[in-house]
Amino acid sequence: MRSMGTPPDADSARISWATLKKLWPYLLEFRTRIVIALLCLVGAKLATVGVPFILKHIVDGLDSKSMPDTAIALPLALLLAYGSARFATTLFGELRDTVFGRVTERAMRRIGLKVFEHLHALELDFHLNRRTGGLSRDIERGVTGVGFLLRIMVFNIVPTLLELVMVTGILLVKYNTGFALITLVAVIAYIGFSVIVTNWRLSFIREANLADSTSNTRAVDSLLNYETVKYFGNERFEANRYEEDLAQWEQARRKNRLSLFMLNGGQALIIALAVTAMMVLAASQVLAGAITIGDFVLINAFTMQLFIPLGFLGFVYRELKSAMTNIERMFDLLEQSPGINDDRGARGLTVTDGAIKFDQVSFGYSGRRQMLHDVSFRVNPRQKVAVVGSSGAGKSTLVKLLFRFYDVTGGTIRIDGQDIRSVTQDSLRRAIGIVPQDTVLFNSSLYENVRYGRIDATEAEVMEAIRLAHLDGFMVDLPEGADTLVGERGLKLSGGEKQRVAIARTILKRPPILVFDEATSSLDSESERGILQAIREISTGQTSLVIAHRLSTIVDADVILVMSQGAIVEQGTHDQLLARRGTYAHLWRIQQREEENA
């Protein structure tokens, strides 16, 4: 599947109308409303077609040379009928819009929710490679395109085609075949011209959308990294890159605008020629005595009723193609299968003791080097096992595999004897609490960010977690206390403060298995001592896996695993490893010297 935000290839210029079939399941929820809307549509068009007939009789009646005694009553009755028909046209149209509006809104809601859920179902690798700004714009345009497509199909395309058939039939049966012939030729020429030119323009529409997504991605990415931009004084560099993207967008929009001028001009010419031909033929028929003045008015009214919507239909078709492009991109995303799936018949994880076992686990990221080589170790129930090693040794990969963000390429990972690939992902992740190295917060209050650890927790439980994570002292100094907004991605908080929010979340979750991925890496020495004490308190009696950089934080671990180049090279207690004078002892000496020189 082509990735989101990639340029369209030659084949992508052809939109598959099978996309419409994908929308049908979302409409079945309101079958009755669809039927009612279609009946209102037919009623509105019948009233619309009836208006010119009433107008013809009014004109013929007023044009009569000999006025009968009922002359006053006759035009009055016809005028009342004319007004009623006009009102019926509007009333049925409004009823159609109101009834079908619920169908459109519910379809947009269902599709928007499905895309949202699907994005969360996709594997970590997808999200590591996504372009958030462009992706969000594609989804926004796709959902909006669904609403537009459904509305124009019911409100514009179907009514116009229905009216076209009715008017052409009336002209063919009641009047000179020339009127029907002119109408058919004009409609065929108009539709053919519109389709050919619009398909030619489609590449410009796609180019403009791509440029729009690219510039939006650039802007979002730059603003999310505001501090980095400031640190290196690269405001002008970012502005220049954004300006380049905007220049491409401007050029694409210019091509789009010029091609639109050609399309609009051609459509207007076809309609003008058709209307002129209809009026010339009608006028000659009146002079020849073949039709009355009322007939002339009727034909003129039909011409206006037909070609004015047809002119709008050209705009609708252009927008329809654009909407279909956007919808197609969104459905392409929905068709991307998650890389990690629950097995059919997967059961919930049952945690009794919380024992973790890595058995000859191997793993390599797709298209990249092998990260783990036959890694085997066991974390016994209520045991604290620490993993240390240099950067790139594979420590954090163990955590990703345990959470099943990726599946192992060899070996197995078991919790209480259950292969984690045989249980549901939801139950697996609910059983494990984590304090990650890089904590990203939601743009909401401090309180809500902590409560995210267990969304059904009481206020007392949340505040207790805040206290145990040593956030209460910091929170008192905030202007709005626990209700203070932390900013996008938690930018208003320091690294240590965000780390403590993550610890509070895990405290609140109270899972049977705890994972700490360099949980104190952003804390100062004083805060680290307090947090370590809190971690010891909450991890007592629970299984803990600790990924550590500072060796001083894991000296009390029951077992320390030393990793190097994706393999375990040493294991034992702190004292045992120091006595071996191997890799661990070397790392310990380096860190001790660094602390002495600090």
Q: Is 403 exposed, middle or buried (0-12, 13-18, 19+ CB in 10 A)?
A: middle
Task: Name residues whose C-beta falls within 8 Å of residue 524's C-beta, 6 or more positions apart in sequence.
Answer: 496
pLDDT (average), residues 517-546: 72
pLDDT (average), residues 549-554: 83
Task: Return the higher-pLDDT residue of 370 and 579.
Answer: 579
The whole-chain average pLDDT of the chain stands at 80
DSSP labels, 442-503:
-SSBHHHHHHTTSTT--HHHHHHHHHHTT-HHHHHTSTTGGG-B--GGGTTS-HHHHHHHHH
Give the three-state DSSP class for 394: coil
Q: What is the pLDDT of residues 314-329, one digit of tens each?
A: 667 767 777 777 787 7
Residue 7: per-residue pLDDT: 39
Q: Which residues of 289-300 are buried (b: 16+ CB within 10 A; e: fewer)?
A: eebbebbbbbbb
Residue 64: per-residue pLDDT: 56
- Give dist(CA 244, CA 219) in Å, integer: 12
Residue 134: per-residue pLDDT: 62
**Where residue 561 falls among pLDDT bands split at 50, 70, 90?**
very high
Greatest mean pLDDT among 50-59, 182-191, 193-202: 182-191
Asked if pLDDT for residue 110 goes beyond 90, the answer is no
With left for phi above 0 and alpha for psi between -120 and 50, is residue 516 left, alpha or beta?
Answer: beta
Task: Return the higher-pLDDT residue of 213 and 509.
Answer: 509
Asked if pLDDT for residue 285 goes beyond 90, the answer is no
Asked if pLDDT for residue 194 goes beyond 70, the answer is yes
**Where residue 164 falls among pLDDT bands split at 50, 70, 90?**
confident
Task: Name residues whose C-beta falls within 8 Å of residue 379's C-beta, 6 or more positions apart in sequence.
Answer: 355, 356, 357, 385, 543, 544, 545, 559
Task: Work out the angle between the directed axes of helices 19-27 and 293-334 (0-180°, nearest 10).
Answer: 90
Name which of 61-65, 146-150, 287-291, 463-467 the model is least confident about: 61-65
Closest CA to 36 of 86, 92, 89: 92
Asked if pLDDT for residue 8 goes beyond 50, the answer is no
Closest CA to 170 of 274, 56, 62: 56
Residue 47: per-residue pLDDT: 81
- Give dist(CA 127, CA 400) in Å, integer: 14
**Where residue 559 falls among pLDDT bands split at 50, 70, 90?**
very high
pLDDT (average), residues 162-176: 79
pLDDT (average), residues 78-93: 80
Residue 417: per-residue pLDDT: 92
Task: Return the higher-pLDDT residue of 162 and 351.
Answer: 351
Task: Return the higher-pLDDT residue of 101 and 547.
Answer: 547
Residues 428, 422 contacting (CB under 8 angstroms):
no
Looking at residue 393, what DSSP letter applies? Answer: S
Q: Is 18 exposed, middle or buried (0-12, 13-18, 19+ CB in 10 A)?
A: exposed
**Where residue 570 falls among pLDDT bands split at 50, 70, 90?**
very high
- Give dist(CA 42, CA 44) in Å, integer: 5
Residue 217: per-residue pLDDT: 80
Residue 439: per-residue pLDDT: 79
- Give dist(CA 10, CA 6) in Å, integer: 13
Residue 133: per-residue pLDDT: 57
Parse the chain into domains and list their residue ranges: 18-334, 437-510
State the CB neighbour count (10 A cutoff) for residue 417.
10
Name which of 200-204, 489-493, 547-551 the model is least confident about: 489-493
Give the three-state DSSP class for 512: coil
Residue 493: per-residue pLDDT: 77
Residue 376: per-residue pLDDT: 94
Name which of 129-133, 240-244, 328-332, 400-404 the model is least confident about: 129-133
Dihedral sign from CA coordinates of 89, 95, 100, 106? positive
Residue 67: per-residue pLDDT: 47
Task: Name residues whose C-beta falls within 8 Å of residue 235's C-beta, 6 or more positions apart in sequence.
Answer: 229
The domain 18-334 having CATH identifier 3.20.20.70: the answer here is no
Residues 138, 329 contacting (CB under 8 angstroms):
yes
- Give dist(CA 444, CA 482) in Å, integer: 11
Beta strands in 50-125 (DSSP E): none
Residues 330, 138 contacting (CB under 8 angstroms):
yes
Task: Return the higher-pLDDT residue of 274 and 598.
Answer: 274
Q: What is the pLDDT of residues 33-70, one digit of tens each?
A: 878 888 888 888 788 777 777 777 777 666 654 445 54
What pTM value is reported for the model?
A: 0.64
- CA dist 541 to 206, 531, 535, 536, Å? 58, 18, 12, 10
- Give dist(CA 594, CA 598) in Å, integer: 6
pLDDT (average), residues 338-352: 87
Looking at residue 423, what DSSP letter applies? Answer: B
Greatest mean pLDDT among 51-55, 233-237, 485-489: 233-237
Asked if pLDDT for residue 11 goes beyond 70, the answer is no
Closest CA to 4 of 230, 254, 333, 310: 333
Q: Which CATH class is domain 437-510?
A: alpha beta
Asked if pLDDT for residue 393 goes beyond 80, the answer is yes
Residue 77: per-residue pLDDT: 74
Task: Return the higher-pLDDT residue of 595 and 374.
Answer: 374
Name which of 277-291, 370-384, 476-490 the model is least confident about: 476-490
Residue 9: per-residue pLDDT: 39
CA 521 to chain centre: 34
Residues 172, 180 contacting (CB under 8 angstroms):
yes
**Where residue 16 falls among pLDDT bands split at 50, 70, 90?**
low
**Where residue 524 falls among pLDDT bands split at 50, 70, 90?**
low
Residues 389, 363 contacting (CB under 8 angstroms):
no
Residue 412: per-residue pLDDT: 95
**Where residue 411 falls among pLDDT bands split at 50, 70, 90?**
very high
pLDDT (average), residues 408-435: 92
pLDDT (average), residues 64-77: 55
Asked if pLDDT for residue 12 goes beyond 70, the answer is no
- Give dist(CA 343, CA 355) in Å, integer: 22
pLDDT (average), residues 211-220: 82
